[in-house]
Structure 1
Amino acid sequence: MLIPIEGVLSKDEVRQFRQRLDAAAWQDGLKTAGTLARSVKRNLQLEDGSPLAVELGNLILRKLGNNPLFVSAALPNRIYPPKFNRYADGGTYGAHVDSAVMAVPGTNVSVRSDLSATLFLAEPDEYEGGELQVEGPFGIQSAKLAAGDMVLYPSSSLHCVTPVTEGARVASFFWIQSMVQNDSSRVLLFDLDQSIQGITPALAADDPRLLKLTGVYHNLLRQWAVT
């Protein structure tokens, strides 16, 4: 299931990000590719741990911490520090599955990748191609969102980035370890939470129906969450 989250960054924030990223020193993405990925990965990445990557990544994390839709969808426990990539001149990333557990550089912390995130930093009309394609139980879903919007999808999914034939696709990407590891349980909680939020404005705060549904949500979360 792909979950789009609009407006993680404002257009002005995207502009500020791009001013700095467009002037950055990018490195070959193969430097961070695993054995299998080396044969399908062709892009550029900002150096992990560089001052710019850390600064912009922290800004993204602060924005997400105040984003109710992200919190509802991801139920985050740990988040891998955001990374940044650039696809141009036929750049692509063939079909692959993200690593299950990732060590955070310079720490003794590891993140289990339950959810993958792509935050788009280029408008769709800035480049040709570059769709994120995710294979799921109902076929392939594609995402090519407006700059500042983000998409979440299960890290266990086979996915790819199609070749960028014109322009440049710039994005941030990272992984989330959720308090609820099971994808179907997490989706069920998300649907329930969104339904509760949808009916809340029409009901009194002490309406027994609302209290009952809220109790069901939190008791399911209590049963499934691992922190």
Structure 2
Amino acid sequence: MHFLLEPLLSPPVVGGLLRRLRQAPEEAWRSGVETAGWHARTVKTNRQLDPTTALHGALAREVVEAMEAHPLVRAAAFPRRIHGLLFSRMGPGEGYGRHVDNAWMAGGRADLSFTLALTDPEACEGGDLLLETPGGEERIRLPSGHGIVYPSTRLHQVEPVSRGERLVAVGWIESRIRHGEQRELLFELDAARRALFAQDGKGEVFDLISRSYSNLLRWWDG
């Protein structure tokens, strides 16, 4: 399953990130082809902040800490590590054609991918994220500070920008629960027990559901 983070970062925090990114010298932005898989290099045209810079390290820490603290990320993604943060910049004519993310990134296995919008939708034309799901293609256009988390197994693309500039942060999650169906079942079971607790308090049925949740988490963690 995929889910939205509405929002992940507050407007003041996003504004600070954007200000520092736009102050970065042009030579700090490198071709996105450098981080693409061999098959994706033919369809990727963007620029990415050099990951070896101190600026990248500081901004990446802010995003990772926000992801780690978000209750929906903890409840639905079961993150073991959040890694591979990239800050991507696209202008007119730039985009990222249809592809699937690599199974392994430099920081670990890619079970889930995420995109965090830094610029507002009005900042550019084009640049929509197209996500292929079992129910069909979904068009994603996020407000500034909002994010989407989706299985890294999904084919997706970013439409070319025709006007303005698109700035996003992207990264990956290695989950403690490798299989998406298991993550979804655990998420629903946890939601059910929390709703039951809110309605009736801690009782026998709540205890049984909690035991099942904990045991499944114990068995599937790996």
TM-score exceeds 0.5: yes
For residue 195 of structure 1, report the CA deviation from its aligned partner: 3.0
Aligned residue in 2 for 1:223: 219
Consecutive unaligned residues of structure 1, counting only runs of 5 or more, are: 105-110
- The answer for the alignment partner of 1:108 in structure 2 is none
Which is worse superposed, 72-81 or 113-122? Answer: 72-81
Q: 52, 56, 72: which is aligned to 1:69? A: 72
Equivalent in the alignment of 1:212 = 208
CA deviations 1:60-86 (Å, max 9, x no partner) are 111222211111111011221411101
Give the counterpart letter for 1:56 in structure 2: L
For residues 124 and 218 of structure 1, what CA distance do their matches in structure 2 show? 41
Q: In the alignment, what sits opposite 1:97?
A: 100
User: How many residues were matched structurally?
Assistant: 219
Judge which range, 72-81 or 171-180, deviates more: 72-81
Counterpart contact for 2:85–2:169, Cα < 8 Å: yes
Deviation, structure 1 residue 87: 1.2
Contact kept? 2:120, 2:143, Cα under 8 Å: yes
RMSD of aligned C-alpha atoms? 1.4
Match of 1:181 among 178, 183, 186: 178
What is the alpha-carbon distance in structure 1 between the residues aligned to residue 192 and residue 172 of structure 2? Answer: 26
User: Aligned partners of 1:165 and 1:84: how far apart in 2?
Assistant: 20
Q: Could you tell me the percent identity over the aligned residues?
A: 38
In the TM superposition, residue 149 of structure 1 has moved relative to its aligned partner by 1.1
Q: 1:167 deviation in Å?
A: 1.3
- Aligned amino acid, residue 141 of structure 2: K
Residues in 2 aligned to 1:203 and 1:115: alpha-carbon distance in whole angstroms: 34
Alpha-carbon deviation of 1:209?
Answer: 2.2
Deviates more, 1:147-156 or 1:194-203: 194-203
Residues 37 and 102, structure 2, Cα contact 8 Å, conserved in 1: no
- Aligned partner of residue 34 in structure 2, secondary structure: helix
| Match of residue 29, structure 2, among 23, 26, 31 | 26
- Normalising by structure 2, we get a TM-score of 0.93
Kept after mapping to 1: 8 A contact 2:119/2:144: yes
1:7 counterpart residue number? 7
With structure 1 as the length reference, what TM-score do the two structures score? 0.91
C-alpha distance after superposition, 1:12-52 (max 9, x if no partner):
00000000111223222122223211210011100112111
Matched, 1:137 2:134: yes
Q: Deviation string for 1:100-138 (max 9, x for gaps)?
A: 11223xxxxxx1110001111111121111111111222
Whole-Å Cα distance in 1 between the matches of residues 49 and 193 of structure 2?
A: 40
Gapped regions of structure 2 (runs ≥ 5): none
Is it true that 1:78 corresponds to 2:81 in the alignment?
yes
Q: Does 1:41 align with 2:41?
A: no
